């Protein structure tokens, strides 16, 4: 990577951590960039799930926590999805990746070099994962045809020397915007996110192999059965919150409401509240009910997680 691109990348990282100079002067803290705000345009409304809460702490607290806030993770500045689609076209990414409903020509790469379909990709990965895959595809290698070559490395080339920082951010924003259309290529997952009360909630219904049956160690789930998972984290630091009473109320057209208790469990995706369940046809919504946490809290989190909350996730028959 040339010195100019290295310099631009360092500026982008500083921008992500500290925010624009004007914001630093006004707020005296690091604002968190959300996804989906076009760079250079006026700020656009974002969904609650995409808007991290500001963090305030002293330098002493920062050093005491090991140099970064508790639960900290790097977040990219926002890009422009519309401009990112043009970057995708200019790089001819469609020759290796199919994206249904976007008007690109059919993938025509060489046999063995055609990558995975990207339809719906944005709903399955955080922006930072997509950003890393563009610049350093061998940091995470997915095994299997369409992902790895005979040498065991990713068939995806690095674009570290081909993109400016702005183009990189715009391309990531475009990939994150791909949340629907076509067949699901990731195990038939349906994913919804909300922020409510003290919690950030990621609700996933999976009928993919190896994702359901977690209540029984991942084995012998009934045919057609799925697994409903609620990943509930502290909205400020995104760490899992244990000891919560959690229930889901399933609403489907023409059927009585179904109440399901979600139990704490761990599977390949990590700690969550879940249950093996077959969602009915004509699904309309799932209402997640979270009661008062049965744990002691102290310090900066004292008296948190005490207020019962509920979150409504629109589903729709087309998602099932």
What are the pLDDT digits (tens) for 205-222? 988 644 444 444 443 444
78 in Cβ contact with 36 (< 8 Å):
yes
Architecture of domain 1-184: Orthogonal Bundle (1.10)
The tokens describing 316, both together, are 């729709």
At residue 181 the predicted structure's pLDDT band, cuts being 50, 70 and 90, is low
The DSSP result for the chain, as a single string, is: --HHHHHHHHHHHHHHHH--HHHHHHHSS-PPPPTT--TTSPP----GGG-PPP----HHHHHHTTSS-TT----PPP--HHHHHHHHHHTTGGGT---TTS-PPPP-PPTT------TTGGGTS-HHHHHHHHH-TTSS---STTTB-TTSSBSSPP-TTT--HHHHHHHHHHHHT---SS--SSTT-EEEEEEETTEEEEEEEE-STTTS-GGGTT--PPTT-EEEEEEEEETTT--B--S--EEEEEEETTS--EEEEEEEEEETTEEEEEEEE-PPSSEEEEEEEE----S---GGGTT-S-S-EEEEEE--GGG-
Of 139 and 50, the one with more pLDDT: 139
Of 113 and 150, the one with more pLDDT: 150
Stretch(es) of the chain classified as CATH 2.60.40.2480: 190-319
20 in Cβ contact with 34 (< 8 Å):
no
CA gap 76, 128 in Å, rounded? 6
pLDDT at 69: 82
Residue 41's Cβ-side half-sphere holds a number of Cα atoms within 13 Å equal to: 14
Of 320 and 120, the one with more pLDDT: 120
| Res 319 pLDDT > 90 | no
Q: What are the residues facing 227 on neighbouring strands? A: 206, 276
119 in Cβ contact with 185 (< 8 Å):
yes
pLDDT at 86: 96
pLDDT at 113: 73
Stretch(es) of the chain classified as CATH 1.10.760.10: 1-184
- CATH superfamily to which 190-319 belongs: Periplasmic metal-binding protein Tp34-type (2.60.40.2480)
Region 5-27: what's the mean pLDDT?
41
What are the pLDDT digits (tens) for 49-78? 455 667 788 898 888 888 888 778 888 888
| Res 299 pLDDT > 90 | no
Average pLDDT, the chain: 78
């Amino acid at each position: 990577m040339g010195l100019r691109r290295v310099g631009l990348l360092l500026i982008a990282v500083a921008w992500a951590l500290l925010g624009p100079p004007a914001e630093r002067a006004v707020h005296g803290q690091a604002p968190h960039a959300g996804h989906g705000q076009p760079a250079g345009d006026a700020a656009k409304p974002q969904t609650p799930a995409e808007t991290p809460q500001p963090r305030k702490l002293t330098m002493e607290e920062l050093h005491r926590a090991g140099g970064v806030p508790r639960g900290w993770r790097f977040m990219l500045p926002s890009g422009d999805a519309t401009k990112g689609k043009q970057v995708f076209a200019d790089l001819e990414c469609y020759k290796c990746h199919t994206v249904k409903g976007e008007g690109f020509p059919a993938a025509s790469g060489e046999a063995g070099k055609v990558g995975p379909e990207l339809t719906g990709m944005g709903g399955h990965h955080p922006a930072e994962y997509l950003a890393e895959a563009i610049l350093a595809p061998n940091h995470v290698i997915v095994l299997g045809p369409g992902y790895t070559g005979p040498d065991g490395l990713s068939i995806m080339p690095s674009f570290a020397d081909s993109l400016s920082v702005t183009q990189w951010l715009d391309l990531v924003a475009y990939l994150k915007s791909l949340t629907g259309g076509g067949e699901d290529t990731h195990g038939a997952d349906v994913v919804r996110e909300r922020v409510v009360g003290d919690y950030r909630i990621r609700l996933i219904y999976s009928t993919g192999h190896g994702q359901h049956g977690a209540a029984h160690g991942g084995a012998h789930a009934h045919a057609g059965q799925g697994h409903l998972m609620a990943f509930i984290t502290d909205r400020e630091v995104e760490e899992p919150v244990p000891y919560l009473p959690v229930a889901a109320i399933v609403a489907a057209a023409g059927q009585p409401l179904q109440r399901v208790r979600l139990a704490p469990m761990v599977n390949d995706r990590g700690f969550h509240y879940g249950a093996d369940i077959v969602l009915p046809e004509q699904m309309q919504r799932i209402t997640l009910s979270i009661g008062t946490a049965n744990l002691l809290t102290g310090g900066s989190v004292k008296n948190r997680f005490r207020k019962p909350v509920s979150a409504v996730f629109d589903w729709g028959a087309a998602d099932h």
